[in-house]
Amino acid sequence: MSKVLIFTEIYENDFDSSVLEMISMLRDLNIDSKNIIVAALGDDLYSKESILQNIPVGKVVGYKNIDTNQFNPNILMKLATGIIDQLLPEKIIIPKTSVGQDLAPRLAFKYKYGIVNDCLSIEESDNHWIGVRPVFGGNYLAKVKIKSDKQIFCIRTKVFDEFDEKNINPSIEFFEYEHNIETNSQIIERIQEQSDGIRLEDADIVVAGGRGLGGPEPFDTLEEIAKLLNAAVGASRAVCDSGWKDHSYQIGLTGKDISPNLYFTVGISGASQHMAGCSNSKHIVSIDKNVDANIFKDAEIGAVGDWKNILPGFLDTLQNLVKN
Ligand SMILES: Cc1cc2nc3c(=O)[nH]c(=O)nc-3n(C[C@H](O)[C@H](O)[C@H](O)COP(=O)(O)OP(=O)(O)OC[C@H]3O[C@@H](n4cnc5c(N)ncnc54)[C@H](O)[C@@H]3O)c2cc1C
């Protein structure tokens, strides 16, 4: 078995936990940890060896002499190509983070890798890897086989549990970056997305509202519910386009992909473009006044009626449950 390379991002104090989900996925494909190499993309990795040591694979590689504005996509691309030039991996796994989904097609184009984007998983058949990805708004799954030996799979995050094995420590190899790191674009300012609670993509429970809420005010109730459930708040595109919520709340094809344990929706019809971002939720519970709303095709539990009559009682019950 040739080695499999996973790209991951290294932050100030930690690595991106999606790499642990990618390792779980590879373990399900019977890939031994020692056959997994993680390519770490980050600044000043030499001083972050203790972080890299916690990635449970055979080997971690990265550059020691990089100290720059690493999340500039052009610079990341340069770093990633340097690593590919040295390792020449056949199979590359890239988590579908904002960095990953930018990197994957660029690498595929540059090195003529076949690519399957937006995979939920990989299946194996006759020694071939087959990317399984949602199509038509998550209503169908396409199984995509790459003909060439050089393959990139960009995998959705939060589909697999994080690999939780503490006794595997990698060997670490630092490369010197010897080329010119300058690019023709530069990040001038970084603005941190304002988020009061848990990040939408990381939340175990998401409470989301749609156009059926009628305006921004009812989101206060959703925020209250989210607080009690330790959940994040999301929204449909209709809500964001109307300016009731910022676009960072948007779930769906042109918004965020989420895979929470529980997805609770209020006044969202469940258009295919919305479902494309949430159909991987483990359980969906929905309130909508239209019994024929598309969301009820995916919801495990549905309450048909006006949310104004349903939500206050729901909130009361929840508050009592939390109190006791
Ligand atoms: C290229 C493209 C990309 C798109 N990307 C996205 C995307 O990323 N995310 C996304 O969400 N959409 C996306 N859309 C838009 C999508 O097609 C839908 O228009 C949108 O999801 C509808 O949002 P909604 O469900 O909030 O509104 P509606 O479809 O208007 O649904 C409102 C629901 O609320 C219910 N309702 C109304 N009043 C009440 C009440 N008092 N009590 C209970 N229920 C009530 C109605 O019965 C209805 O089911 C995209 C569209 C296109 C063309």
| pLDDT of amino acid 219 | 97
Q: Is domain 4-175 annotated with CATH 3.40.50.620?
A: yes
Distances in Å between the Cα of 18 and the Cα atoms of 54, 82, 112, 211, 307 are 13, 22, 25, 32, 36
For residue 240, give the 3-state DSSP assignment: helix
Ligand 1 center to residue 171 CA distance, Å? Answer: 49
The atom number, within ligand 1, closest to the CA of 209 reads: 26
Nearest to residue 234, comparing CAs of 272, 205, 214? Answer: 205
Q: What is the pLDDT of residue 195?
A: 66
CB of 309 shorter than 6 A to ligand 1: no
**Which pLDDT value is given to residue 194?**
67
Q: How high is the pLDDT of residue 177?
A: 80
pLDDT at 300: 97
- Cα-to-chain-centroid distance, residue 18: 7
Domains 4-175 and 200-323 share a fold: yes
Q: What is the pLDDT of residue 137?
A: 73
Ligand 1 centroid – CA 158 distance (Å): 24
**What's the CA-to-centroid distance between 267 and ligand 1, angstroms?**
8
Instruction: Dig out the tokens for 70 from the structure.
Output: 């690493």
Does any ligand 1 atom lie closer than 6 A to the CB of residue 302?
Answer: no
Q: What single-letter DSSP state applies at residue 35? A: G
pLDDT along the chain (324 residues), means of 10: 89 91 97 95 90 96 79 85 94 94 96 96 95 86 96 94 91 86 74 75 94 97 96 97 96 92 97 92 97 96 98 95 86
Please state which CATH number belongs to domain 200-323.
3.40.50.1220
Question: In angstroms, rounded to a whole number, what is the distance separating the alpha carbons of residues 22 and 97?
Answer: 12
The conformation of residue 131, written as its DSSP 8-state character, comes to: E
Ligand 1 contact, 268 CB (< 6 A): yes
3-state secondary structure at position 11:
coil
- Delimit the domains of the chain by residue range: 4-175, 200-323
Ligand 1 centre to CA of 139 (Å) is: 17
